[in-house]
Structure 1
Amino acid sequence: MNRHLPAHRTRRHALLGLLAAGALSLAAHPARAQVAGEKTLRIVLPNAVSSGVDTITRTAQPALAKALGHPVTVENQPGAGGVLGVQTLARAAPDGYTLGVVSNNVVIFPSVIQQLPFDLNTDVVPIAVVGYTPIVLVVNPKVPASNAKEFVAWLKSRNGEANYASGGNGTILHLASAMFVDEAGVKARHIPYKGVGPMLNDLIGGQVDFATAALPSVQQHLRTGALRAIGMGTQQRVAAAPEIPTFVEQGLPGYVVEAWFAVLGPKGLPPAEVRRIHAAVVTAFADPGVAEAMARQGNVINVSSPERAQQFFKDELAKYAKLVKKAGIEAQ
């Protein structure tokens, strides 16, 4: 993936959304070795059930538990567009028993929400950017289009009356769809939902026309025909879904969006615990079963160092501030 795009193209590219990767840790105190396995670790997801982050985290959950020697629970806290989940993480004790798995959404929050109950620069500790997941634009089967050319023509014929869904106002899926509308030179109305699950329910039911989503969250619906894929927001076709063409090859070279997922800890997490958690993430995602599942879902795993993750978050905060401004989304 190209991380050195010229400025005019950077405005049209986003490292997306979706989605998610999990991690756990052990508590940082002398008794740690003596109580291993006695206390449950929780992974807080500021994302709804059925989201890309949720799918990826639950897939890796058993391997993560094994790598750290503790039982693991996954808690979905998508309230307030995901702000509630990040707030829970930010207020957690830095003992290694509460971690978060997040998507691009978290670096968008400061640009779309006027008063956040946390400071992303100081209240959380990036531990690892785990990888990336493909973003696909999907439509309700009633939409009379099966490729980008037909879809853009249909949108133009609707004169702005077509609508698209997202998992919430200002989320990465909102931005991904807004960027498509901008790239295609069309108009469409945005309808935000409280999470990816409700968004997909109404998209399948025909209440909305289209949406962008992480591939893992819609693979089953594509197989059953409940949804139809128009194109993939990647530079090249994805091995997990080679039948879906990219928008680049369909004449929209500026539309490339990729969703990343990362592991965070609360502020004050000791450096030794950061390293321990990071090592567990590397081990868990190298597990053959997890690696096979990630490939099947189309995810690209490339676990960053803690140092790289921390710089990455700073860069992404600045990047999305520009994208939000370009998309015309006002802070609320």
Structure 2
Amino acid sequence: MIRRQSMQRRTLLNAALALSATLAATLAVPGLEALAQGGSGKPVRLILPISAGSGVDNIARAAGPALGKAFGQPVVIENLPGAGGITGAAAVVKAQPDGSTLGLVSNNHVINPSVFRTMPFDALRDVTPISVIGSTPLVLVVNPKVPAKNVKELVALLKAKPDSYNYASSGNGTIIHLAGEMFLDEAGVTARHVPYKGTGPMINDLLAGQVEMGVVALNAVAPHLKAGTLRAIGLCGDKRSAAAPEIPTIAEQGLPRYNVAGWFAVIGPAGMPATEVQRVHDAFARAFTSPEVLEAMKKQGTVVEPGTPEAAAAFFRSEAARYAALVKKANVKAE
């Protein structure tokens, strides 16, 4: 009896030692240190306040595996479009500030306060800016049935037939809408605005010819440009993109003041501890500067330059002021 109890104790001891070794080996796996050292331990919920198929959606999907590795825990990407990005951002604002719920937002986040008369949250005070990750080029495109191949021809067409053409956007007051309004203003022409609930439906109707033109992220329409089902008129930024060097900018085609690009940034709820902010910042920086993600971003034309939390907060304030002036000038109001 005593011998049997002794054997049982040795068996339990060996099992405990084996379990300890397994746990030690698990925590030593590269990428899992982050889970052991910080965070809530729950999967990271990354909310995209835009529809599937948009530029930021393509960016997040390409970086998803690297983000999971950098965090050392699963990263679940969730699209919550609606109200120009307010629906998704509101979900981030209401979440616990423990790093388990984050948002990947674009220009729209700081535009909305100037467009909507009432907001369910303060776009600057109720979030924690963590990093402006980078920017992606926007491009003015037309359906191939439009008899214009460049800015000069398109402007001539719009002047010859005022308000006969439609331009699409991903929603009223979005950066896509403002970019279209800015083009019309710079060119001195008019067209009818047709807002959609997201980039996906907008692109579908551009392809079908239900609307004639629109501004959209380059990475969202690159396959259609290559296939010839959409035609690029010009890039909206101040320089050409390495992903599509053959597409000239709108500025170099006669509208030198026209310059707008889409940026994307990671945010969390207000009140995140400084250590958690830094942990999330570092994970995103590691993921987006990893060789595989940099290569994917290069193919999309996306420029990656992860900034600090302090720089992100200052950038949000300056961009909010910039777009407030543009919204007022274009008389953009929520519909």
- On whether the aligned pair clears a TM of 0.5, the verdict is yes
Aligned with residue 318 of structure 2, among 315, 319, 328: 315
Q: Is the 8 A contact 2:44 2:101 kept in 1?
A: yes
Q: Is the 8 A contact 1:131 1:260 kept in 2?
A: yes
Partner of 2:178: 175
- Which segments of 5 or more consecutive residues in structure 1 lack a partner in the other structure? 1-30
Residue 104 of structure 1 aligns with an amino acid whose one-letter code is: N
1:37-88 per-residue CA deviation (whole Å, 9 max, x = no partner) reads 9632110000110101100011111101100101111110112221110100
Are residue 242 (structure 1) and residue 245 (structure 2) matched?
yes
The ranges of structure 1 where at least 4 consecutive aligned residues each deviate by more than 3 angstroms after the TM superposition are 34-38
Q: Is the 8 A contact 2:39 2:276 kept in 1?
A: no
Residues 69-218 of structure 1 correspond to what in structure 2 (within 5 A)? Answer: 69-218=72-221
CA distance in 1, matches of 2:236, 2:187: 13
CA distance in 1, matches of 2:43, 2:92: 16
Residue 67 of structure 1 aligns with an amino acid whose one-letter code is: A
Partner of 2:53: 50
Q: Is the 8 A contact 2:49 2:87 kept in 1?
A: yes
CA distance in 2, matches of 1:35, 1:174: 40
Partner of 1:11: none
Which protein has the bigger helix share? 2
CA distance in 2, matches of 1:159, 1:274: 50
CA distance in 2, matches of 1:303, 1:236: 20
1:179–1:44 distance in 2 versus 1, CA, 3 Å: same
CA distance in 2, matches of 1:289, 1:258: 24
Query: 3-state DSSP class of the match of 1:325?
Result: helix
Q: Report % sequence identity.
A: 58
CA distance in 1, matches of 2:35, 2:107: 33
Are residue 257 (structure 1) and residue 291 (structure 2) matched?
no
CA distance in 2, matches of 1:285, 1:59: 10
Aligned with residue 288 of structure 1, among 287, 291, 314: 291
1:35–1:231 distance in 2 versus 1, CA, 3 Å: closer
1:197-250 per-residue CA deviation (whole Å, 9 max, x = no partner) reads 000001110010100011111111111111100001122211100110111221
Query: 3-state DSSP class of the match of 2:216?
Result: strand
Residue 315 of structure 1 aligns with an amino acid whose one-letter code is: S
Partner of 2:12: none
Partner of 2:302: 299
CA distance in 2, matches of 1:32, 1:148: 51
Residue 144 of structure 1 aligns with an amino acid whose one-letter code is: P
Give the superposition deviation at 1:274: 0.5
Q: Is the 8 A contact 1:248 1:255 kept in 2?
A: yes
Q: Is the 8 A contact 1:124 1:265 kept in 2?
A: yes
CA distance in 1, matches of 2:160, 2:38: 64
Query: 3-state DSSP class of the match of 1:226?
Result: coil
Partner of 2:63: 60
Residue 274 of structure 1 aligns with an amino acid whose one-letter code is: V
CA distance in 2, matches of 1:293, 1:171: 26
Query: 3-state DSSP class of the match of 2:78?
Result: strand
Residue 304 of structure 1 aligns with an amino acid whose one-letter code is: G
Give the superposition deviation at 1:330: 2.6
Which structure ranks higher in relative contact order (CA pairs < 8 Å, sequence separation ≥ 6)? 1
Q: Max radius of gyration: which structure?
A: 2
Q: Is the 8 A contact 1:100 1:264 kept in 2?
A: yes
Q: Is the 8 A contact 1:53 1:261 kept in 2?
A: yes
Residue 73 of structure 1 aligns with an amino acid whose one-letter code is: V
Q: Is the 8 A contact 1:36 1:70 kept in 2?
A: no
